[in-house]
Amino acid sequence: MSSTFDKNLLPHFDSVKDDDEDILWTDKPKFIPYTITGFGLGIGAFIFVGIYYLMTKNVKNEDGTTGNFQIWFAALPIVFFLWEFFRKILSYGNTSYAYTNKRVMMRTGFIGTDFKSIDYDKISDIEVTVNFIERAFNVGTIKFFSGRTQTDDGTTTKLYDRWEAISSPYEVFKKVKQISVDIKTDFNYPNALRPETNPGYNTKYDRKE
C-alpha cells in the first residue's frame, strides 16, 4: 500500500504554512487503531485493579471498618486510560499530519486547535514503530526526537513527537528521513560552496499527488 496525499487536508495547515512553503504530504491517522492503541495498557490497568481489590477488600482500618481508599487509589490508572481514550475520540476530527519542504507538522485538539512543527535541522532522530494493533490495520507510528527530555528521580527520558496510526509508515518514514538528511546537508554545505563533484540534492521537492 502506497502512502496517500489527501488534498482535502491542505487547508488544515493554511494558518501556519509559510508563503514559500510547499506541503509534500498530508494524511490523517486511521480512526480505529488511533483510538484503541492504548487498549493494551487499559486492559492491564483493569487486571491490576481487579487483583488489588481482591487482595485488599477484607483489609480493615484501625477502627475496624473496611475503607475504599485503596480501591480508588488503584483505579487511577483506569481513569487516566479512559481520559486518553476519550481525548483521542474527541480530537480525531481535528487531527492530521503533514511534512513540507521545511518541516514536519502535527495538528490536533478537541477544544481548540493545537499545532506543532519541527524544522528538519532540529530533528536528531526519527523512528518508526508498529504495535500489534497497528499491524492488524496496516498502519504504524513515526516518532521524531528533537532534543526534548524529561528527568524524574535522576532518570532522563526522551520525549518524542508522533504521527500515530498512519498508512504505509515505512514508506513515509523513508521519505521524511531522506528529506531531513538532504536539507541538513544543504544547511551544512550550501550550493555555492559545493565542489563540482558534490552538487548536492535537488532543492525543489515535488508534492506527492
Enclosing H/E stretch for 28: none
Q: What pLDDT band is residue 175 in, cutting at 50, 70 and 90? A: very high
How does residue 186 score in pLDDT terms, banded at 50, 70 and 90? Answer: confident
User: Distance between CA 179 and CA 148 in Å, rounded?
Assistant: 22
Instruction: Report the pLDDT value the prediction gives residue 87, as an integer from 0 to 100.
Output: 81
Give the CATH class of 23-190: mainly beta
Return the closest-CA partner of residue 131 out of 18, 19, 38, 20.
38
Do the bridges between strand 125-129 and strand 96-100 make them parallel or antiparallel, or are there none, so unpaired?
unpaired
Q: So where are the chain's domains?
A: 23-190
Q: How far apart are CA 80 and CA 42, in angstroms?
A: 9
Q: What is the mean pLDDT of residues 52-65?
A: 57
Q: Does residue 200 register a pLDDT over 80?
A: no
The span from the CA of 207 to the CA of 130, in Å, is 26
Average pLDDT over residues 156-181: 93
Please state the rounded mean pLDDT for residues 20-35: 90
Partners of residue 114 on adjacent β-strands: 108
Which pLDDT score is estimated for 111? 83
> 9 is written with which cell numbers?
487536508
- Give the helix/strand (H/E) hosting 25: strand 23-27
Strands (E), 28-172: 96-100, 103-108, 114-119, 125-129, 139-152, 155-167
